[in-house]
Structure formats: C-alpha cells, structure tokens
Amino acid sequence: MASTSNEPRAARDTAPSSRHPFQTGWTVFAAVLMIFGGAMAILQGVAAIAKDDVFVATRNYVFQFNLTGWGWIHLILGIVIVLCGCALFTGAVWARVVGVVLAGLGALANFLWLPHYPLWSIVLIAIDVFIIWALCAGPHKSETV
C-alpha cells in the first residue's frame, strides 16, 4: 500500500517513531552504566583520600602518585562521569561525544590504578569499554521498507 502522506520521505524517516527501541536502549543502558561507574569512582576516590588501609601501595611502579592524588583524580572524574551520564538521558549528541571521552579517561585512570586494587580496576575498565561501545553503536537512521 502506498503512503498517502504529503511529507517528504526524509522527514518521515527522522520521526521519533522510526527509531528502534533497541538502539535507544543501548544509550539508556550506557547512561545507567556511566552513573554507576561514576558513583563507584567517587567512592574509590573518597576511600583513597581518606587513606584507608584497603589499598595496597606498591613500590617501583612506573605511574607513581600518592594515594591522595589518585583519590582526587578518581573523585573529580567520577563526578563528571555521573553528570555526563545524567545528560545522556536528554539524548544530546554532545553528551554522547563527551561520554565516550570520559569513559576513555575512566578506563585509563583505572588502568593506572591496577596496582592498588586490581579486581576493582578490571571491572571498571570493562564497564568503561562497554560504555564506549554502547555510545558508539547508538541510534542510527533506520531503513524503512
């Protein structure tokens, strides 16, 4: 059956109803993961600033900072990641781009944090990599038949 709409085809294809829920679902899932990962980074930063005995201080590590310095890095990065995760719910393109950059910085910070808390760092790196994938695989224009 032929379409009787007077709108051009391009205008119909960009309508909100033409988006697949699965594609926007990845963006929402990435936003939730960013909020979760950012909250975990905040807790990690607070624990490091408090100089808790949870973390192991290794000797002769190439990327040496004191524990308080790492704590401030994780705290600030975690706050910014949570804010960007909240901004992703608006569907803004800038939030997707900033989210990819922040997830990359989070993965890098956790890679450098590996000697202090290896299992936690590996989990957060995996979350950051999945966030990057979900944001890059985000909504695409769908073909209508």
Q: How high is the pLDDT of residue 120?
A: 85
Over residues 108-117, the mean pLDDT reads 85
Q: Above 60 in pLDDT, residue 92?
A: yes
3-class DSSP state of 22? helix
Q: Above 60 in pLDDT, residue 16?
A: no
The CA distance from 20 to 104, in Å, is 27
pLDDT tens profile 24-68 = 788 888 999 999 999 999 998 898 888 766 666 666 665 566 778
Residue 69 CB neighbour total at 10 angstroms: 12
pTM of the full structure: 0.73
The CA distance from 75 to 95, in Å, is 20
Average model confidence (pLDDT) for the chain?
79
Residue 29 CB neighbour total at 10 angstroms: 14
Q: Which residue has the tokens 């995996």?
A: 126
Q: How high is the pLDDT of residue 36?
A: 92
Pull the structure tokens for residue 29. Answer: 């899932």
The CA distance from 138 to 145, in Å, is 21
Cβ-contact 120, 138 below 8 angstroms? no
Question: Vertex 27, ends 80 and 46: CA angle to 5°?
Answer: 25
